[in-house]
Amino acid sequence: MSPSAKQIDKVFQQVISRNPGEHEFHQAVREVFDSLPTVLSRHPEYVEASILERLCEPERQIIFRIPWTDDAGTVHISRGFRVQYNSALGPYKGGLRFHPSVLLGTVKFLGFEQVFKNALTGLPIGGGKGGSDFDPKDRSDAEIMRFCQSFMTEAYRHLGDRVDVPAGDIGVGRREIGYLFGQYKRIANRYESGVITGKGVTWGGSLLRTEATGYGTVFFAEHMLRAAGTSFDGTTALVSGSGNVAIYAIEKVHELGGTVVGASDSSGSVYDPDGIDLDLLREVKEVSRARISSYAEQRPQAQYLEGTRVWAVAQKSAVDVALPCATQNELDEDDAATLISSGVTAVVEGANMPTTPEAIRRLREADVLFGPGKAANAGGVATSALEMQQNATRDSWSAEYTEQRLSEIMENVHTRCASTAEEYGIPGDYVAGANIAGFTQVADAMLAQGVI
């Protein structure tokens, strides 16, 4: 083992013992660390300044009680989190996740990823993440509002357009952002638009923010395909999930001439050999807030696969591209094997850390192009930063201009990952390219700002 690899291992052992049981956090740290031995050999100053140790300890971790009352008058206590992970490049920036699986370790893994992702956008944003173990499923609109208000009643004191700027993630969309912003405005007595992103376009939101993560993922994937001499045109694709990221990824794949034949939710998947009917999917998920099974009920040619991940559709249809857009660790080694047998040529992550390390290894051994989430899904947070920019100048941009900016940013993220991988002698390794480019930018800023 090289001295750098030994140093990395030592820090990783500390991460495990200081953060017991936080497996997702360990996984996210390990994945970045695996890309760093050569970086540390070239930059001993990072080791001298304990950059790795500092990057594994968030700047601030806030945990709070969220009391709220349901429609029947029963009081519930949820747990709220905000991890203000790293502010070397700008105010803390990152989404809020409302899902019963959320633990401190979940928020730490997402915050850790966010730091490097935000660096890759080239925009002045630090990294943070937050959320709650509140389960929004089957809750009424009034319950969602009361919960969001209670969340913000505590969270507001830690936020600000130059301090920490949340946005959406799983379970948090336009409706929740509205209730959160309203409560912040009421408590702070300030119309501080830039305190949260993902707002409605008539009250400070940016055009394209809703579409940005899904579109951006497909832009990134298209650059990867082009670099390999192909494109989306004529391809068959699978997208997991059917939420914000998935819906707009499907839309962009269709615009670029591909056909998405499968999508899913946490209960099951649909296989639609004619291509997902987006109007119907949006009606089911965004308007009725129903399960994806109801899509299949209304679409005679589609099959519903109860309790099955969407990757199983690759047993029924040849698949060229897979875009995991639901949640972490949702594509494992067996799923990777299914996709490889089906002829997949690229897997590009719209979600955060959806592919297990074993699955990534398997895909790369089979020479499948692999685009990591911290690069591929950066379009969402990048457009959030564009929303902050519009708020700061009290301006709003056209859809065309905003999409142009998003498309340029994704092209730059792709170029940075590809050229960094080349510089380090591992061409085509987008995982290492993204990790090294993000890490060195944050590390250099931390070095310049002293031991803080």
- String of contacts with ligand NDP for each residue 193-222, x by CB under 6 A: --------------------x---------
> Which residues is 265 bridged to in the sheet?
268
137 is catalytic: no
Subset of 91-110 contacting ligand 2IT (CB under 6 A): 93-95
Query: What phi, psi does 100 have (nearest 5°)?
Result: -60, -20
Least Å distance, CB 40 to ligand NDP, is 28
247 binds ligand 2IT (CB under 6 A): no
Q: Which does 268 bind (CB under 5 to 8 A by kind): ligand NDP, ligand 2IT, none?
A: none
- Of the listed pieces 18-26, 278-286, 376-384, 408-416, which binds ligand 2IT according to CB under 6 A? 376-384
Q: In this chain, which of 149, 242, 390, 402 binds ligand NDP, going by CB under 6 A?
A: 242
Q: What is the CA radius of gyration of the chain?
A: 21
- By beta carbon distance, the residue nearest ligand 2IT is 95
- Selected catalytic residue, list 93, 108, 117, 129: 129
Q: State which residue, 106 or 259, has the beta carbon closest to ligand 2IT.
A: 106
- String of contacts with ligand 2IT for each residue 175-204, x by CB under 6 A: ----------------------x-------
Q: Which single residue is written with the structure tokens 């698949």? A: 319
* Burial class, 367, CB count within 10 angstroms (exposed 0-12 / middle 13-18 / buried 19+): exposed
Q: Which does 197 bind (CB under 5 to 8 A by kind): ligand NDP, ligand 2IT, none?
A: ligand 2IT
169 binds ligand 2IT (CB under 6 A): yes
413 binds ligand 2IT (CB under 6 A): no
Q: Which does 245 bind (CB under 5 to 8 A by kind): ligand NDP, ligand 2IT, none?
A: ligand NDP
CA distances from 163 to 56, 57, 88, 127, 207 (A): 20, 18, 12, 11, 24
Q: State which residue, 40 or 381, has the beta carbon closest to ligand NDP.
A: 381
Subset of 6-65 contacting ligand 2IT (CB under 6 A): none
CA distances from 337 to 54, 324, 365, 384 (A): 37, 15, 11, 36
- Of the listed pieces 322-330, 339-347, 355-363, 435-443, which binds ligand NDP according to CB under 6 A? 322-330
Subset of 114-143 contacting ligand 2IT (CB under 6 A): 114, 117
- Site size with ligand 2IT, rule: CB under 6 A: 12
Q: In this chain, which of 381, 388, 406, 409 binds ligand 2IT, going by CB under 6 A?
A: 381
Q: State which residue, 86 or 352, has the beta carbon closest to ligand 2IT.
A: 352
Q: Which does 326 bind (CB under 5 to 8 A by kind): ligand NDP, ligand 2IT, none?
A: ligand NDP
Subset of 55-94 contacting ligand NDP (CB under 6 A): none
Q: In this chain, which of 243, 268, 433, 438 binds ligand NDP, going by CB under 6 A?
A: 243
- String of contacts with ligand NDP for each residue 245-284, x by CB under 6 A: xx------------------xxx-----------------
Q: Return the axis-axis angle of helices 3-18 and 23-33, rounded to nearest 10°.
A: 170
Q: State which residue, 126 or 262, has the beta carbon closest to ligand 2IT.
A: 126
Query: What phi, psi does 369 have (nearest 5°)?
Result: -65, 135
The structure tokens listed for 20 are 């017991």
Subset of 329-358 contacting ligand 2IT (CB under 6 A): 352
Q: Which single residue is written with the structure tokens 């009421």? A: 186
327 binds ligand NDP (CB under 6 A): yes
Residues that bind ligand NDP (CB under 6 A): 95, 168-171, 213, 241-246, 265-267, 325-327, 330, 350-352, 377, 380
Residues that bind ligand 2IT (CB under 6 A): 93-95, 114, 117, 167, 169, 197, 352, 380-381, 384
Query: Catalytic residues, which ones?
Result: 129
